Structure formats: C-alpha cells, structure tokens
C-alpha cells in the first residue's frame, strides 16, 4: 500500500465537508454520519480498534490488519486530540493529533485515503473525486435497517450507501469507478458511533468485485 500524507489532506477534506449545506428532508450521509455526534459518547481517553480488510481481483491473498484510533485527550469543552496507528510492518502509518469534537475522524481518514488512491491509480485529480463524494453526502442515500454484533450484543444499526459517480458524465474518463459505492453503518451503543465504513468497486462489465476496502469496529482496546 502506498504511503500517503494523511494529516494535511484530511484537513482539506474537513474544510470541504464544513462548506456543504445538507438537505433537511432526506436521509443523507451528511445528516446521519457527519452531523450525528457519533464521537460525543467518547468522554475520556479511549483507544478504538477497527479491523481493516482489503480484497479484490489483484489482492491475493486478501490483506487484513487493524487501525487504532487513539483519543488521547478530551477537553472540558469536548474537544479531542486523536492519533492514529494504522496497519503493520512496512505499511504501518502513525500520525496525529487530529482535532475532533463530535465527528468520528476515522471517516475523514478513510475517505481521504480513498480519493488519494483513485488519483494515484488514474493520474486524475484527487480533488475531483473528493468533490463528487462530497456532493453525494447531501443526496438521498440508500438506507437500510440492519443489526450488528458488538461484544456478543446485537445492536440495531443503520446502513447508508451512496454511489457518487453513477450519474456524473465526467466519470466516463474513469469508467472503472462509475458504480463505486460507499457504505456507512452507524449504531448507537457502538463506541464512536461508527460500526463500519467501506468502499466497493465492481467491474462495470460483469459486476464482479475489483476492489473492496473496509474498516469495521472490533473493540475498545484495554
């Protein structure tokens, strides 16, 4: 996996998200993920561990590792300083602090990594991919009630899916991403509010999986 300059790029994505005005009447990612106060329940220093999985046509065997999101400081005003320790061995990345209050910054880290990878793979602009995803945050999402398991508990959750490039005429320059989907699973009772974030790229010809990346909540690290 290519090493990427997460902190500066992630800050740029935060600014873009802050500039978006969500639709009031629709179920959107902007409303259910970015405005839902997912991190508000983390009121003391906590390390949240997520399982990272990467699979697809060119990934044999599938890659599996972990991502630790370390909330090291929580101010009296709710401001948090968050550090990340991602992957292992030669792929290991450590960075921080990222400032957070109620938004779970894992979403920003995942998405910025994703758009950088698309830019690197295509020679296109990461900013273009970033803009299209940002727009999709305010569009009605595909919404489904699901159930997730955490510590042997079954919890009700909401799964939201967006397909940012499907109706964008410019995506014809990058046809492999036309049907790319982003999945967000949020649940009360899951520390940090985010159970899973994933991106899935099917082959536009036969629908078979080209690439899927995901981060799924596993545990609070003791």
Residue with tokens 């967000």: 184
Mean pLDDT computed over 90-100: 96
Count CB neighbours of 24 within 10 A: 7
Whether the bond between 97 and the residue before it is cis, its omega within 30 degrees of 0, is yes
Q: Length of the chain, please?
A: 222
Q: pTM of whole model > 0.85?
A: yes
Residues 6+ apart with CB under 8 A from 33: 104, 107, 137, 160, 184, 186, 194
Report how far residue 56's alpha carbon sits from residue 23's, in angstroms, rounded to the nearest whole number.
Answer: 34
Phi, psi torsion values for 47, nearest 5 degrees? -110, 120
155: helix, strand or coil = strand
Percentage above 70 pLDDT, the chain: 88
Residues 6+ apart with CB under 8 A from 63: 1, 52, 53, 54, 55
pLDDT at residue 210 is higher than 60:
yes
Report how far residue 103's alpha carbon sits from residue 34's, in angstroms, rounded to the nearest whole number.
Answer: 6
pLDDT tens, residue by residue, 155-205: 999 999 999 999 898 888 999 999 999 999 999 999 999 999 999 999 888
């Amino acid at each position: 996996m290519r090493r990427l300059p997460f902190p500066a790029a992630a800050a740029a994505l935060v600014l873009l998200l802050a500039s978006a005005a969500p639709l009031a009447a629709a179920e959107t990612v902007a409303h259910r993920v970015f405005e839902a106060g997912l991190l508000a329940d983390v009121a003391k220093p906590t390390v949240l561990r997520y399982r990272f999985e990467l699979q697809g046509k060119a990934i044999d065997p599938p890659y599996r590792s972990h991502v630790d999101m370390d909330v090291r400081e929580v101010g009296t005003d709710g401001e948090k300083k968050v550090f990340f320790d991602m992957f292992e061995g030669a792929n290991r990345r450590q960075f921080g602090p990222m400032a957070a209050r109620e938004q779970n910054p894992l979403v920003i880290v995942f998405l910025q990594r994703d758009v950088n990878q698309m830019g690197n793979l295509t020679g296109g602009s990461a900013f273009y991919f970033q803009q299209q995803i940002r727009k999709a945050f305010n569009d009605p999402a595909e919404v489904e009630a699901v159930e997730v398991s955490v510590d042997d508990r079954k919890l009700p959750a909401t799964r939201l899916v967006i397909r940012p490039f499907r109706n964008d005429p410019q995506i014809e320059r990058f046809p492999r991403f036309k049907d790319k989907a982003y999945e967000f699973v949020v649940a009360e009772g899951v520390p940090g509010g985010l159970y899973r974030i994933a991106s899935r790229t099917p082959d536009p010809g036969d629908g078979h999986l080209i690439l899927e990346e995901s981060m799924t909540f596993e545990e609070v690290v003791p």
